[in-house]
Structures are given as C-alpha cells and as structure tokens.
C-alpha cells in the first residue's frame, strides 16, 4: 500500500530516507514542471532547471517543513522563490515577452493548444502576476493559498486576479467562440 505524503515526509525528515524523498519528487515533479513551463512561456530547459533547483531546495530544507500548509503549497512556495529569483537576476527587458524558443516555434496553426495559448498570454504579465494567474486559474489554489505561497498580502493577490482576468480574456478571445 503506497504511503501518503505525510508518512513520506516524516520518513524523509526523521530517517533521511532517500527513497521516501524520491517518491515525493516522483509524485509532484510533473505538475511542477508543467507549471514552470507555463510560467516560462514553454521554455522547457529553463522550466526543468527551475524544477531541479526547487527540488534541491526542498531536499535541503525538508526538516523545516512543519505541515502548517500542504506539501504541495510549500513546494510551490519554494518554486515561486526560484522562479522570482531567476527573473530578478535578468535584465528588465528580458523579463517580459515570450522566450525566444517559443517565439520561433509558435505559429497560428498551433491555435488548437489552449495550454500553449495560456502560456503565451501569461508572458504579457510580470512574473508576479503570471504566478498569481497561473496558480488561480490553472492550479485552482485559493486566494489565501496563493498569498501564502507568494508571501504576499491577500489584497495584492485579489488585485492581480481582478486586473488580470479581463486581460487574459482578451488574449484568449479565440477560445470563447
């Protein structure tokens, strides 16, 4: 019978059980990598690098996880920090706009891929807004969970969603037909 997250975390924390940690990575890496691809405009190499950096930090700090929130929420908080740190290190003109790899590969005939269109639409927002919109509309986190993940006031999260919704609707207009 597979162990639940709580049991795996306990084994990894108390016994340094690498198999338990590997199981946690296996359970969450696909969802995390997908989210990071969405946030980076489908820059798969960057998304993979950020996911790897996230799991390294999770491993280093797992003993500090206290179950105050769900593991998934805590994982996304670390991923947010890795994502935000990456964009803080870049020049301002590199932060907005789709990745060069995506711009080269994205053509109008790709318009049958809502996930790609959503990722392209997100590239029109700042990294912070991108994360809020992805977590809310795609991962369906609550406003409070997003505020916890991003260590940001609840009002700011609500504002990003309220301002971002009409812009997303405009960018994704083709999907409303």
pLDDT value, residue 177 = 67
Cβ atoms of 51 and 32 within 8 Å: the answer is yes
Phi/psi of residue 173, nearest 5 degrees: -55, -40
CB proximity list for 31: less than 8 A, separation 6 or greater: none
Half-sphere exposure of 67 (CA within 13 A, CB side): 7
Domain that holds residue 131: 5-176
pLDDT in tens, the chain (177 residues): 788 999 999 999 999 999 999 999 999 999 999 999 999 988 999 999 999 999 999 999 999 998 878 899 999 999 999 999 998 887 555 544 444 444 434 343 455 678 888 888 999 999 999 999 999 998 999 999 999 999 999 999 999 999 999 999 898 888 776
pLDDT value, residue 91 = 58
Q: Calculate the dihedral angle through the C-alpha atoms of 152, 153, 159, 160, rounding to the nearest 10 degrees.
A: 10
Q: How far apart are CA 34 and CA 55, in angstroms?
A: 14
What CATH number is associated with residue 121? 1.10.1740.10
pLDDT value, residue 102 = 42
pTM given for the model: 0.83
The total of structural domains in the chain comes to 1
CB atoms within 10 A of CB 71: 18
């Amino acid at each position: 019978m597979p162990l639940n997250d709580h049991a795996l975390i306990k084994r990894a924390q108390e016994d340094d059980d690498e198999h338990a940690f590997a199981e946690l990575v296996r359970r969450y890496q696909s969802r995390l990598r997908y989210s990071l691809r969405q946030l980076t405009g489908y820059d798969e190499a960057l998304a993979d690098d950020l996911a790897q950096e996230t799991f390294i930090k999770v491993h280093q700090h797992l003993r500090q996880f206290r179950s105050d929130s769900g593991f998934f929420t805590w994982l996304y908080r670390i991923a947010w920090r890795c994502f935000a740190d990456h964009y803080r290190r870049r020049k301002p003109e590199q932060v907005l706009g789709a990745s060069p790899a995506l711009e080269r590969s994205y053509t109008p005939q790709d318009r049958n891929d809502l996930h790609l269109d959503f990722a392209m639409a997100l590239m029109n927002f700042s990294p912070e807004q991108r994360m809020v919109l992805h977590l809310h509309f795609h991962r369906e986190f609550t406003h409070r969970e997003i505020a916890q993940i991003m260590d940001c006031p609840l009002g700011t999260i609500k504002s990003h969603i309220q301002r971002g919704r009409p812009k997303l609707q405009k960018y994704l207009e083709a999907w409303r037909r």
